[in-house]
Structure 1
């Protein structure tokens, strides 16, 4: 089985832009007393999570990304855990719920504004499922489009699977911080995936060890190419 990295197509015809953000999220964290890391992680996005049933005063806290003490992060994490999908990483900076805002320009059938977020037009999503692509989960967005022919975009919610192969990691890589869980790992170059850690399905997922990396297997890529879905490029990754 081959695996591919997804990247937005930089062609000038794709002018689509979303001035939008997720409705809720865990705030950033104040400097950790152990590793001194602060802020939050990118790529941990769960757009299908519905937090609307939580008390208003808690939703207010989950709508503010300003850093808070680690103890408050831990409290908010346990508050939202029952509403999260299995296996979700609920770290500082994780985002929940649909994106809200405005959009304009021309969008391909697939769309990536940031390397860690993937959107599909609804018709592309339906066609991918019809040809047998497995494990797709699309979430409606709440965006007002300033264009005559507004697309109906779904944001993909993806599970976390897989690891980097040790051959592409620095030999002095430090383990995650025991206090806050922060990892010093950045995306290696070149990227090599550990074949034993990769799933047979779903066909689209985030890399568990690097959540900003969106990976698809050849079933997903073959379907996208057969259906002539545009807007995203596929770069084959080495697997060992």
Structure 2
């Protein structure tokens, strides 16, 4: 099976979707480790932040130009999906799609109902592709964030067999989908996303 990195399209290629005004406040927020002060692994890196999704700044989203596309990747920490699109993918049998309701609203009358995806952490970059580093994981929480590989390679033995969407444990800003999910997105005509095949070893 092939795997792909799921990402946003360049800003210049965005045709429809408006910007979230809380964009600059997004990030891997969450409880901090008392030892290293880093974000505890496996918490908000996997799930949307309730504080940012329901903040007053986020409640008034800018109006979409014509429509809000099915899937909108604001950044690696926030992936929004229209509810109808989420239900469509779930009906297709895509695994690992869990959406949390948001309080984002639009100035237009017929605003879409959006879900923020909760994306679990599974799988690893293969050691052969990782850049040299002296970073040692925290002994208390195991948290660390190595540099992103220039030529990414997935560790086949670490990849989940029960999910079609996940983020890597040693590269939490990397969203990975299966070939099955990628084919479904294309077949259903989803827009404003990019795919890059990532080899597996």
TM range (shorter): 0.7 to 0.9
Deviations 1:72-105 (A, max 9, x none): xxxxxxxxxxxxxxxxxxxxxxx44671222123
Task: Say if 2:150 is the partner of 1:189.
Answer: yes
In the TM superposition, what is the alpha-carbon distance from 1:159 to its structure 2 partner?
A: 1.2
The normalised TM-score by structure 2 is 0.80
Matches within 5 A, 1:18-167: 18-20=20-22, 26-28=30-32, 38=37, 40=39, 44-47=45-48, 95-96=49-50, 99-100=53-54, 101=58, 102-106=60-64, 107-167=68-128
Q: 1:210 aligns with which of 168, 171, 180?
A: 171
SS of the aligned residue for 2:95 comes to coil
1:12: how far off?
A: 3.5
Give the superposed CA RMSD. 2.6
Closer, same or farther: CA 128–176 of 1 in aligned 2, 3 Å: same
TM-score (norm 1): 0.68
1:149 Cα offset (Å): 3.1
- Measure, in 1, the Cα distance between the counterparts of 2:145 and 2:81: 31
SS of the residue corresponding to residue 223 of structure 1 reads helix
| Structure 1 residue 150 displacement after superposition | 1.3
Matches within 5 A, 1:172-187: 172-179=133-140, 181-187=142-148
> What secondary structure is seen at the aligned counterpart in 2 of 1:112?
strand
**1:148-197 Cα distance to aligned partner (Å, 9 max, x none):** 43121111101111011111113444330224534251221111111111
Please give the alpha-carbon distance, in whole angstroms, between the structure 1 residues aligned to 2:145 and 2:77. Answer: 18
Partner of 1:77: none
User: Which runs of no fewer than 5 residues in structure 1 stay unpaired?
Assistant: 48-94
Name the CA distance, whole Å, in 2 between partners of 1:182 and 1:127.
35
2:111 aligns to what SS in structure 1? coil
User: Is the Cα contact below 8 Å between 1:5 and 1:214 reproduced in 2?
Assistant: yes
Q: CA deviation at 1:124?
A: 0.8
Displacement of 1:110 in angstroms is 0.6
Preserved CA contact (<8 Å) 1:173 1:185: no
Deviation at 1:138, TM superposition (A): 0.9
Aligned residues: 186
Separation in 2 of the partners of 1:213 and 1:161?
A: 11
Deviation, 1:222, is: 0.9
Do 2:3 and 2:177's aligned partners in 1 also have CA atoms closer than 8 Å? yes
